Amino acid sequence: MSKRSHVMLPFSNYEKGKAMTVWTTPPYADPTRFEEHDVTIGTGDRAVPGTLTRLATRSKVGVVLLSGSGPFDRDETSGPNKPLKDLAWGLASAGIAVLRFDKITHTRPDVMNEPGFTPHDEYGPHTIAAVQMLREHADQVFLVGHSMGGKAAPRIAAEDPSIAGIVIMAGDAQPMHEAAVRVMNYLATTNPEAIPPGTVELFQRQAATVASPDLSADTPATELPFGMPGAYWLDIRDYDPVVTAAKLDLPILVLQGGRDYQVTVTDDLRGWRQGLPDATIKVIDADNHLFFPGTGPSTLNDYATAQHVDPAAIAAILDWLP
């Protein structure tokens, strides 16, 4: 290792027409308290690069961070923002060991075209490998998943009994093809300049194809939302994260932004509340999907403004962790 100093839906990397800015250290992070190392997660042509953020000594608690839907890097870079780097630095400043990594779809976008590739292939193997690596530096390892990463976390925890608990940040519970239509309708109203005419109707047709009993691995990707292949959608359609999470004998924290239009209190959090009566659930009213605080209705343009993850979200995780 070399030492360094360092969505649900794919709208959180919105950059169109916006000038990029340099990420700055969040006010709640103290880089003098931790060090960072380059690491490699996985082996062979499926290996991905990552970053281990830790104290000089072993930590009591470690977390593996999982980014949302789309080919994100380890920081979940979204325009000028790096929400997972905010999280990593905020948690590490409090003594938590953190491991984050580039998704395989970021380093190898061609894998989406491999026959049978699923969301579990996208998240599962590298997350479990990351958990095993982090156990060398922390006594207990938790998953902190954002958006689709939060949705994936229960299934991964069900496979790896060494995982001590999961944090679901804006994890979607509504079927993704239905949510895609809902979000497109919202954006057509709030950001009409970014949504070409006919887009909502296109997503309605594509969502109907996903919901159809005729959906198969051979269904052309051009007929499906976001151009993702049939096998990918079959896996998403058949996976219920709430039911999976309810079967876990693990502590669970669900965090939700009150201003989030991608994963909402009404459409998604209701499912977590009903299915996980013993979970800790917290709504941060001011936050959007990336847990950036603000006021008024959240819009697509919010993602292009340089911001940091709300310190209230960092505090909620730290208060919940042992």
Q: Tell me: the pLDDT tens digits for 151-176? A: 999 999 999 999 999 999 999 999 99
The pLDDT of residue 193 is: 92
Under the banding of pLDDT at 50, 70 and 90, the label for residue 127 is very high
In this prediction, residue 11 has a pLDDT band, given cuts at 50, 70 and 90, of very low
| Residue 186 within a domain | no
Global pTM reads: 0.93
What residue type is 11 in one-letter code? F
Q: Residue 6 to residues 86, 89, 270: CA-CA distances in angstroms?
A: 12, 10, 38
Distance CA 63, CA 96 (A): 7
225 domain residue, yes or no = no
Which of 308, 294, 224 has its CA nearest to residue 259?
294
CATH number for the domain spanning 92: value is: 3.40.50.1820
CA of 142: how far to CAs of 57, 71, 93, 210, 248, in Å? 18, 23, 17, 33, 13
Q: What is the DSSP letter of 269?
A: I
The verdict on residue 203 lying in a domain is: no
More confident residue, 18 or 206: 206
Q: Is residue 33 part of a domain?
A: yes
pLDDT score of 90 more than 70: yes
- Looking at the predicted structure, is the pLDDT value of residue 312 above 60? yes
Residue 266 burial by CB count (10 A; 0-12/13-18/19+): exposed, middle or buried?
exposed
pLDDT tens for 177-207 read 999 999 999 999 999 998 999 999 999 999 9
Mean pLDDT of 112-130: 96
> Rounded mean pLDDT of the chain?
93
CA atoms within 13 A on the CB side of 97: 23
Which pLDDT value is given to residue 96? 98
Residue 19 has pLDDT above 70, yes or no: no
Q: Does residue 189 lie within any of the structural domains?
A: no
Categorize the per-residue pLDDT at 6 as very low, low, confident or very high, splitting at 50, 70 and 90.
Answer: very low
The structural domain count of the chain equals 1
Each residue of 210-257: pLDDT tens digit?
A: 999 999 999 999 999 999 999 999 999 999 999 999 999 999 999 999
What average pLDDT score do residues 64-89 get? Answer: 97
Q: Which amino acid is at 67?
A: S
**Does 205 fall in a domain?**
no
Confidence of residue 3 (pLDDT cuts 50, 70, 90): very low
| Residue 314, in any domain of the structure | yes
- Give the structural domain span for 157: 3-173+240-320
218 assigned to some structural domain: no
In terms of Cα–Cα distance, which of 32, 13, 7 is closest to 172?
7
| pLDDT value, residue 68 | 97
Given pLDDT bands bounded at 50, 70 and 90, which one contains residue 301? Answer: confident
Burial of 46 (0-12, 13-18, 19+ CB in 10 A): middle
pLDDT digit string, tens, across residues 274-290: 999 999 999 999 999 99
pLDDT tens by residue, 31-75: 999 999 999 999 999 999 999 999 999 999 999 999 999 999 999
Are 149 and 119 in contact, with CB atoms under 8 Å apart? no
